[in-house]
Copies of this chain bind each other. A is one copy, B any other.
Amino acid sequence: MDNDVVLLDHGSGGKLSQDLVRKVFLRLLEGKSLRDLDDGAPFQAPGTNLVTTTDSFVVDPLFFPGGDIGHLAVCGTVNDLAASGAEPLCLTAAFILEEGFSLRDLEDIVSSMVETAREAGVRIVAGDTKVVPRGKADGVFINTTGVGAVISRNPIGGRHVLPGDRVLISGTVGDHGVAILAARAALSLHTPVRSDARPLWGLTKAMLQSGAEIHALRDPTRGGLAAALNEIAFQSEVGIEIDESSVPCRTEVRTACDLLGLDPLVLANEGKMLVMVKREDADAVLETMKRHPDGAEARCIGRAVPSHSGRVVMRTAIGGTRLLDMPTGEAWPRIC
């Protein structure tokens, strides 16, 4: 590029906009519909039962151990489609750039999106770029929106959970939240924590194809496991019991949480799937998860119960119980 930062004119719709689109986005994001530069991008769906989901990413910092905003933006939307029981068909990507943002950083972020989309087997088919003056945004914000084709045989959603269902989690909790908070605080942890951000369609597809009766899937991001479980308990009007000692959590995440006064159960995850499955099918799904690299540390952590409808109760390691409430007032903005 002739200049090494984003200029206001890069958002004007004129020549410099074209330059930015051609030299950064089209060069990195290979795709016929993008190259055609029309107002919309055509795609073929394999059927008519579709799902859509949207997420804007405003993570701070933009680059962190284990990923960056571009990687996160692809993982987040792919995982929301997966959690809907849907195979990701295509993504759109829309950028809001602050005047003065480094074009080198933008290229790194777009490259990261391309790589993650390839890993997830999904195409980025349409895009948009806006530029706002210095001080009116913070570097770059990215929206990704996805369309997926439903492949689950039974309906999947927070309201389909039944008492008796088992609660499975595909791996350790809190990694992403700690990675971001430590990076933001420039906190030097003895053992650095990396974000778990990864696309989970492969793992989810294996679970769906196993034939198990999965009732709900959830990508426990903002608000962590606590928020996801509370949402499901509310939607299905069931109680949920979690065994505290069975929730997988890395030692370094626990240590950082102790240091920072945080609860790993309310910290964001970006590469974990929460699964609510019919009791009889739980063992088989757990085995399927463990055989997949993204589910090697999967565990059964609890069950849905007919009592205390809408509430999540934690059985503690010392035999007591406590309410695991919907998180309030943590004020950690920009985790994703």
Interface residues of A (CB under 8 A from B): 8-9, 11-18, 36-58, 79-81, 83-84, 86, 90, 92-96, 99, 125-128, 130-133, 135-138, 141, 143, 145, 147-148, 150, 157-159, 217-219, 221-224, 227, 231, 235, 266, 268, 326-335
**A8-B333, A135-B135, A235-B36 known; A13+B222 contact, CB < 8 A:** yes
**Cα-based distance from A94 to B96 in the complex (angstroms):** 13
Question: Do the beta carbons of B44 and A12 come within 8 Å of each other?
Answer: no
**A12-B327, A14-B223 known; A150+B39 contact, CB < 8 A:** no
**A14-B327, A42-B51, A126-B53 known; A36+B158 contact, CB < 8 A:** yes
Closest Cβ–Cβ distance, residue A231 to chain B (whole Å): 6
**A137-B138, A222-B13, A330-B12 known; A43+B52 contact, CB < 8 A:** yes
Closest Cβ–Cβ distance, residue A4 to chain B (whole Å): 18
Question: Do the beta carbons of B94 and A56 come within 8 Å of each other?
Answer: yes
Question: Do the beta carbons of A330 and B9 come within 8 Å of each other?
Answer: yes
Q: Which residues in B have their C-beta under 8 angstroms from that of A219? A: 39
Chain B CB within 10 A, most for which of A52, A93, A158: A52
Q: Which residues in B have their C-beta under 8 angstroms from that of A326? A: 14-15, 18
Question: Do the beta carbons of B58 and A52 come within 8 Å of each other?
Answer: no
Question: Do the beta carbons of B54 and A92 come within 8 Å of each other?
Answer: yes
Question: Do the beta carbons of A86 and B40 come within 8 Å of each other?
Answer: yes
Question: Do the beta carbons of A329 and B47 come within 8 Å of each other?
Answer: no
**Cα-based distance from A10 to B160 in the complex (angstroms):** 27
Considering the complex of A and B, which 5 residue pairs feature the smallest CB-CB distances, nearest first? A13-B222, A13-B223, A40-B84, A145-B145, A54-B92
A16-B328, A45-B48, A52-B145 given. 18 additional CB < 8 A pairs? A9-B328, A9-B331, A11-B333, A13-B327, A14-B328, A15-B329, A36-B157, A38-B83, A39-B81, A39-B217, A47-B48, A55-B94, A56-B95, A92-B145, A96-B96, A133-B333, A133-B334, A145-B145
Contact pick for A56, options B53, B128, B159, B223, CB 8 Å:
B128
CB pairs A–B below 8 angstroms (6 shown): A12-B331, A12-B333, A14-B223, A58-B130, A136-B137, A136-B138
Question: Do the beta carbons of B15 and A54 come within 8 Å of each other?
Answer: no
Query: Which single residue of chain B is at the shortest CB-CB distance from A327?
Result: B14
